[in-house]
Structure 1
Amino acid sequence: MIRYKILAAVFSVIVAVAEEFSLLKLEPASSNIESEEKWLAIPEPPRATPIPLPTLKVSASVYHPEPHQTDSTPFITADGSRINRRDPGKHRWLAVSRNLHARWGGDLEFGDSLWVSGISDDLDGLYIVRDVMNRRFRNQVDILVGRKDKVMGFWKNVGIAKFEQPTQRSAAVAVTN
């Protein structure tokens, strides 16, 4: 909240200084033409058209970081990330079945962001791939939640799409056009 107040104060000072300097401009006395204020036109950046991402239909379930649902190290994921013991669901991490992971011939890797849709308003959204599932599962994702979340279920026809973030170079090109 204090950041907004500071930002508003700085903006007010800039506006006051700009108005002060515009009043100090001297126009030649011989000019009879009324002066018009000219504002600098700032072009609106081009709107990025959403790129349809290829969506894969999978099944989805939830898992808790417990030894009988994971391996002997339930608070360490397959990529070495450590799970918060108090609130595992805050990470927004998921495990993918091995056939989806690049190590076993799939397209997903650890650290990839996936957009998950088709479960519920609370569980749909952006997740990061941090774990893999047991080899008996195929075409499935497992969402990490905590016992306190009280979420259980199995969902079919859940859509996942790899979420590509724009690179710095492409963002700079979009601004200059």
Structure 2
Amino acid sequence: MDVIQVPGIAGALLFMPSPHVDERGFFSRTFDRGVVEKAGLDPDAFVQDSISRSVKGVVRGMHVRSGAGEAKLVRCSYGAVFDVVVDLRPGSPTYRNAEYFDLTGENQVSVYVPAGCAHGFQALTDPADVSYRIDRAHNPDEDVSIRFDDPDLGIPWPLPVSLMSDRDKAAPSLALATARLS
């Protein structure tokens, strides 16, 4: 498994596995303690694994947590998603930068999203399963959403949005959301 620094987001990493493919399908290691340690992360820091299933066109995000934030390791385990990370850490050298990734069940790439960065994705297939490994227990009082179509973000969502949660539909602008992070 190779680890690549994401150039536009300080501290963000891509974990690039090497799936073993044959006539049966494939086998892929999706988490390796030694690789995570070598990349400078504490593998024991992850305390929760979650999965979401989305239909084509669904947008989930943009989400970030207030307080100490939340770091996460995100992977599309089935299907394909257009994944987005935006750096919202005011002291970061990559503040307000965005990076986009094609995460698929075929490539099994994981993106490490540092605490203080907003994250979201759009399902490109029906269905798309996304797995999350999170470094803090969820506290809904710390949830912050940002409008997916905020012009200050300018995210080039590849498909028309088919569905989203009520919370994401009602999300405030980037300016209002970042004020809640301070």
Larger Rg: 1
**Structure with greater strand percent:** 2
TM-score w.r.t. the length of structure 2 is 0.22
**Structure with greater helix percent:** 1
TM-score w.r.t. the length of structure 1 is 0.22
